[in-house]
């Protein structure tokens, strides 16, 4: 029997896009984030991509002290690869966004590969009342906001986090972001294997049509050849369809309530682990296997969980 290909599942249990009003299952407190991460690992996620929230109102925060309240629990309870955001929230400065990844030196940190419009404001039409005033402001401000990720910003994150042995989940929302990554590769600031997370279906980035997915894959193949590991993130209802395409095309997948609140048509997922189980069914239905955390470490050439500051 030929050896089955292994698919890395990344799970993002919370994030900066959705707000507490949108789902009662969105983890907010450190204990909730830790439990959601453990549940996702037990369901089959090899990598846990982490944001933090103010436990009082769910507002996104990059305060390392909040991360410190859940990172040790996740590390001690799982073998998962810990991946800390440097995206934080579009409303934060780069220095604010950098703080937790710089302090905790994770195996992986996410890195947005270009400035972009990020339109969250259409979500305002879906809800009559919000629990907190900050939610409305957070969404409304995206009408006139550029999520700033300049070449200087990217180089700063690469330099500071790279010095700690952290590798990157390169989040690419359009083909220009792939070309930006190629520039940094050619400049010697990043090295293979590149873990490229192509993002589909978020207003301001590329769409989620199958032709969009294949276009990003073709472009990455042309620019990076065998020097990258491909993964996809489908926003909202696109999560499982885009993940299914990736798995069938030789790629990896990311799911979680950061990216989509849904567990099926018209049904909220009751946690990110629900989505991990859904995509695992797709992967195994294709006669593929999920990668363990240690297999993901080998594929991405990571430094190991014993070398992070947690």
For residue 160, pLDDT over 90 is answered with yes
Q: Each residue of 253-307: pLDDT tens digit?
A: 999 999 999 999 999 999 999 999 999 999 999 999 999 999 999 999 999 999 9
> Which residues, other chains included, contact 232 with Cβ-Cβ below 8 Å and sequence gap of 6+?
197, 198, 199, 200, 213, 242, 243, 245, 246, 251, 252, 253, 254
For residue 145, pLDDT over 90 is answered with yes
Domain 6-307: what homologous superfamily? Aldolase class I (3.20.20.70)
pTM for the full model? Answer: 0.97
> Which among 292, 300, 284 has a CA at the least distance from the CA of 231?
300
Enumerate the domain spans of the chain.
6-307
């Amino acid at each position: 029997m030929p050896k089955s290909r292994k698919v890395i599942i990344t799970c993002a249990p919370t994030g900066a896009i959705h707000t507490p009003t949108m789902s009662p299952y969105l983890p907010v407190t450190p204990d909730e984030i830790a439990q959601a991460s453990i549940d996702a690992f037990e369901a089959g996620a090899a990598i846990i991509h982490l944001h933090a929230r103010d436990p009082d109102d769910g507002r996104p925060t990059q305060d390392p002290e909040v991360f410190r309240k859940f990172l040790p629990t996740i590390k001690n309870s799982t073998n998962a690869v810990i991946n800390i955001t440097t995206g934080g929230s579009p409303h934060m400065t780069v220095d604010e966004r950098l703080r937790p990844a710089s302090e905790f030196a994770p195996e992986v940190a996410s890195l947005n590969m270009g400035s972009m419009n990020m339109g969250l404001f259409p979500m305002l039409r879906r809800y009559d009342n919000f629990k907190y005033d900050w939610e409305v402001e957070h969404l409304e401000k995206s009408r006139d906001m550029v999520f700033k990720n300049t070449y200087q910003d990217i180089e700063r994150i690469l330099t500071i986090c790279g010095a700690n042995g952290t590798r990157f989940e390169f989040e690419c929302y359009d083909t220009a972001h792939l070309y930006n990554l190629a520039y940094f590769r050619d400049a010697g600031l990043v090295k293979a294997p590149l873990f490229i997370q192509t993002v589909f279906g978020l207003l301001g980035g590329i769409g989620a049509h199958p032709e969009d997915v294949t276009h990003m894959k073709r472009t990455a193949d042309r620019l990076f050849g065998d020097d990258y590991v491909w993964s996809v993130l489908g926003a909202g209802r696109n999560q499982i369809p885009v993940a299914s395409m990736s798995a069938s095309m030789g790629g990896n997948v990311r799911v979680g309530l950061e990216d989509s609140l849904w567990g099926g048509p018209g049904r909220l997922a009751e946690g990110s682990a629900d989505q991990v189980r859904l995509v695992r069914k797709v992967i195994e239905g294709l006669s593929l296997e999920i990668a363990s955390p240690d297999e993901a470490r080998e594929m991405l050439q990571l430094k190991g969980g014993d070398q992070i500051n947690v």
